[in-house]
Amino acid sequence: MHKPAILLIYTGGTIGMVKDFETGALKAFNFNQLLERIPELQLLDCTIDTYSFEEPIDSSDMSPEHWVKMAEVIEKNYHLFDGFVVLHGSDTMSYTASALSFMLKNLSKPVILTGSQLPIGDLRTDAKENLITAIQIASLQENKQPVIKEVGLYFEYKLYRGNRTTKISAEHFNAFTSPNMPHLAESGVHLKVNHHLLSNFYTSNQLIIHKTLETNVFILKIFPGITQNVLNAILNIPNLKGLVLETFGSGNAPTEFWFINALQKAIQKGIKIVNVTQCWGGSVDMGKYETGTALKQIGVISGYDITTEAAITKLMFLLPQDLNPNEFANAFQTAICGELNLMN
Ligand code: ASP
- 313 has catalytic annotation: no
Q: For 101-119, how does the pLDDT look when each residue is reduced to its tens digit (9 = 90+)?
A: 999 999 999 999 999 999 8
Residue located nearest, by CA, to atom 8 of ligand 1 = 90
Between the alpha carbon of residue 6 and those of residues 47, 111, 210, 289, the distances in Å are 6, 10, 23, 49
Mutational pocket test of ligand 1: of 58, 116, 173, the residue with most ligand atoms within 8 Å of the beta carbon: 58
| Bigger pLDDT: 56 vs 136 | 136
* Ligand 1, atom nearest to 58 Cα: 9
Identify the pLDDT of residue 30: 67
Considering the entire predicted model, what is its pTM?
A: 0.95
Identify the pLDDT of residue 29: 66
Helix (H) or strand (E) holding 104: strand 104-105
Identify the pLDDT of residue 24: 79
The H-assigned helical ranges of 269-307 are 290-297
In this structure, what DSSP letter does residue 126 have?
S
Identify the pLDDT of residue 33: 62
| Nearest by Cα to 307 from 94, 91, 66, 86 | 94
**Ligand 1 pocket residue status of 101, Cβ below 6 Å:** no
- Integer Cα distance of 105 and 342 in angstroms: 21
CB 318 within 8 Å of CB 329? no
Contacts of 63 (CB under 8 A, 6+ apart): none
* Ligand 1, atom nearest to 91 Cα: 4
CA 96 to chain CA centroid, Å, is 5
Does the pLDDT at position 343 exceed 80?
no
The predicted model gives 227-253 an average pLDDT of 97
CA dihedral over 184, 137, 41, 115, signed as positive or negative: negative
% residues pLDDT > 90 (the chain): 82
Residue 265: is it exposed, middle or buried by C-beta count within 10 angstroms (0-12/13-18/19+)?
Answer: middle
% residues pLDDT > 70 (the chain): 97
Q: For 317-337, how does the pLDDT look when each residue is reduced to its tens digit (9 = 90+)?
A: 999 998 999 999 999 999 999
Q: For 5-17, how does the pLDDT look when each residue is reduced to its tens digit (9 = 90+)?
A: 999 999 999 888 7
**Ligand 1 pocket residue status of 114, Cβ below 6 Å:** no
**Ligand 1 pocket residue status of 115, Cβ below 6 Å:** yes
Identify the pLDDT of residue 42: 84
Confidence of residue 35 (pLDDT cuts 50, 70, 90): low
| Nearest by Cα to 211 from 108, 54, 101, 64 | 64
| Nearest by Cα to 317 from 222, 234, 208, 230 | 208
Full set of structural domains in the chain with CATH: 5-209 (3.40.50.1170), 217-332 (3.40.50.40)
Does the pLDDT at position 250 exceed 80?
yes
Q: For 252-261, how does the pLDDT look when each residue is reduced to its tens digit (9 = 90+)?
A: 999 999 999 9
Does the pLDDT at position 306 exceed 80?
yes
